[in-house]
Amino acid sequence: MTHNQSFNAQVGAEAHDVERVDALLEEQEQLFAQLDALGEQQSFLVDADDAEALLLLLAERQRLIDSIAANNASLTPYRARWAAFLGALAEPERERLRRRVDVVAELAGRVAIRDESHRATLESRRAQVASELGQIGRARGAVAAYGQGARSSPRFQDREA
């Protein structure tokens, strides 16, 4: 193989890599956008205290997260040599990939902030329900304690001999 053929093969592989990374980042962006949209629905369901619908949404959300993880695994070989990979690209390609990464990072940050807010809200509600259940338990105990004395047998009976 001549030097030019070797160079052309390398450039072709890099062009293929750029297309592959761009496609993976575009898919990642779409997945995070869907996750973000589900997060908005999740906010409504958390506020409405609609547990059944929330569980269905969380199952759909998990499928998206699984897809994001699979996509992320496909990006791993490129991420390992990211600086060198970007350094070998022409400026327009480098800038396009950086923009995609920035958009994905912004979406991921927005999802993380919203998730933390939902977690705190649900944790607060869980603590409130636990407190209410504790009060019910104490109230039942008090009723049971006072109710014991009221169930004694009668002291006096009318009997004819």
CA 152/CA 28 separation, integer angstroms: 72
Whose CA is closest to 114, among 19, 41, 31, 14? Answer: 41
Q: Quick one: how far is CA 35 from the chain centroid? A: 8
Provide the pLDDT for residue 51: 86
Q: Tell whether 29 is covered by a domain.
A: yes
| CB atoms inside a 10 Å sphere around CB 13 | 10
- pLDDT tens, residue by residue, 89-102: 899 999 999 999 99
Q: Tell whether 157 is covered by a domain.
A: no
CA 36/CA 114 separation, integer angstroms: 9
Q: Tell whether 117 is covered by a domain.
A: yes
- pLDDT tens, residue by residue, 17-66: 899 999 999 999 999 999 999 999 998 988 888 889 999 999 999 999 99
Q: Tell whether 95 is covered by a domain.
A: yes
Query: What's the domain range around 50?
Result: 7-148
Instruction: Give how many domains the chain has, as a whole number.
Output: 1
pTM for the structure as a whole: 0.69
Q: Tell whether 1 is covered by a domain.
A: no
Q: Tell whether 56 is covered by a domain.
A: yes
Provide the pLDDT for residue 154: 63
Query: In CATH, what number is assigned to the domain containing residue 76?
Result: 1.20.58
Q: What average pLDDT does the structure give for the chain?
A: 82
